[in-house]
Structure 1
Amino acid sequence: MAVMQMSMVEAVRNGLDVMMTRDPRVIVFGEDVGYFGGVFRCTQGLQQKHGKLRCFDTPISESGIVGAAIGMAAYGLRPCVEIQFADYMYPAYDQITQEASRIRYRSNGDFTCPLVIRMPTGGGIFGGETHSQSPEALFTHVSGLKTVIPSNPQDAKGLLIAAIEDPDPVIVLEPKRLYHGPFDGHHEREAMSWKGHPLGEVPEGHYHVPLGHAAIRREGGDLTILTYGTMVHVALAAVEEQGIDAEVIDLRSLIPLDLETIEASVRKTGRCVVAHEATLTSGFGAELAARVQETCFYHLEAPVGRVAGWDVPYPHAQEWFYFPGPERVGRALREAMEA
């Protein structure tokens, strides 16, 4: 299969285009996603190509967007809606958790909800506390929802296609810091660019990355790092700077979770550090640490370490200090190795 150089924005757009061309049931809508092409341009050109009935703008009503999409999905369509920022999803949280996630169970399997909700997540644009949150744990706690977070353009397209083809609701969280790149995890501020530099090779046409399958981004024998999204690149940078033979696992899919890959790695290395951008307390890292402790306890040589954002409202002016960078991850790696 031929490949193309794409940024993550371009990969998301291409994935939507592929599925809209392939399946007439796929409908794309949300705030500013039609004529304007979305605030991050992830849907640019889709309305012009597929028409205003297939890609259209909505009022500023997240509850209305998701509520309408649930009805469409139950009827047999495959809506893929955009919440402009993950921070804006709270008015729709009732629809997501009380309706979309429960349709299959409530109807005894008579109805499903093949709905995809895309949301830009995390910081990187100095958007402050209402444009920079990482709320993945709020979705992983809800039975009936699936949650994925890509770390590169190829996975962004493949996971999105898999999510659209899935019969149940899937939350797709897209890290804003990875939208345009380049981003190597070392010098974060200098790495941000909005000029659209390509991030990676993306296969043309239709393919999918199966939900529930993690990827080993770096093999190692001394320690396992469990992470996802932007923090995959930070973890790789930290490993390089510290010179530790760590295995870096990109979860890609939080729910369903690839426990087999996690357990095999931790049992091999005997040490584990979890890293994510969201706040520490009740973050998804707590679930990962608990799972590792339950299934790999007798293989552990040190306590499971966690590196995360501060337990404070998202700081605007101190955004780049809030992010767990290579230095903070590296400190956790050293502590695990010395324990």
Structure 2
Amino acid sequence: MADKRWKRFIITTIVLLFLILVAFLISLNLGTYPISPIDTIRTLVGAGTEEESLVLFGFRLPRMVLALLIGAGLAVSGAVLQGITQNELAEPGIIGINSGAGLAVVLFIYFFEGSTSALGSLSVFAMPFFALIGALVAAFFIYILAWKQGIAPVRLILVGIAVNAGFSAVLIVFQLRMDPNDFMQATVWLSGSIWGATWSSVLSILPWIVILVPFTLWKSQHLNVLNLGDQVATGLGAAVEKERRILLIAAVALAGVSVAVGGGIAFLGLVAPHLARRLVGPGHHFLIPIAALMGALLLLAADTLGKNLLAPSEIPVGLVVSALGAPYFIYLLMKTN
């Protein structure tokens, strides 16, 4: 049985990597400045024109790499949140983590607009830290308000939804106090947009993903034990609340830094873990890496669709993901008791 699970995991990994490669090559070719596959290959090896090199290396590649990183981060965050809450409807956008991170970034732009322009590209690296603080504050409120002789999964979800509504209301207040240009920029960003991505944006999120995704994979056995229920996990010698707090911080950090560079992309952290669970089962040592690949694939495909569907206009990737993810969320609600 174990050999069959490993075989299924390996096959699924290979298939997803192949699909990501195909989506990557398609996205490289498509856009308002189309480049043929042959010209794309020539440009990648350094034999393309100056315009093609600028389009590929200056605009498309950083955006596509950023989509892969954000997709993996949000998917793993959702998988961990579903594990620690024992609730398949848990997702950083639904329980308020994304809105907390988004509020912190909007406050950073609102109060430090002058220093942001003075900092230049350094502000890209500062935003993940502010988003992390906002996400941690949201998680703190959720955890404290949901605590009642321990954390009940259902209470955690309900409190998260309430906190999400509160942070979203405060967010709208500060948006309305912005000048029209900043308001429109904040609105597009909060709807989920990776337009204008640069290599600095990639470097600002890369260390977080490289550290936190392997960390959650290392903690996967603790997630498997927590899924047995608090009483069973305690009987097996697990420090339930300690491990839950550590994993919650990791999930919050992944969601926070993803929101800092990609805006409020909802439902991806819900859909990707569910699809991964259907492919490789509930074991988190298999689920987390497959969820990361699935999230990366879905966000890259959604971004490719969003930037080409109504070209030359673009649909924010968050709206594309929501349009695809909302029906699946409704389907899960109908199935959940």
Task: Please give the range of the TM-score, normalised by the shorter of the 2 chains.
Answer: under 0.3
Write 1 or 2 for the structure with the bigger share of strand: 1
Of structures 1 and 2, the one with the larger relative CO (CA 8 A, separation 6+) is 2
Report the TM-score, using the length of structure 1 for normalisation: 0.26
Write 1 or 2 for the structure with the bigger share of helix: 2
Report the TM-score, using the length of structure 2 for normalisation: 0.26
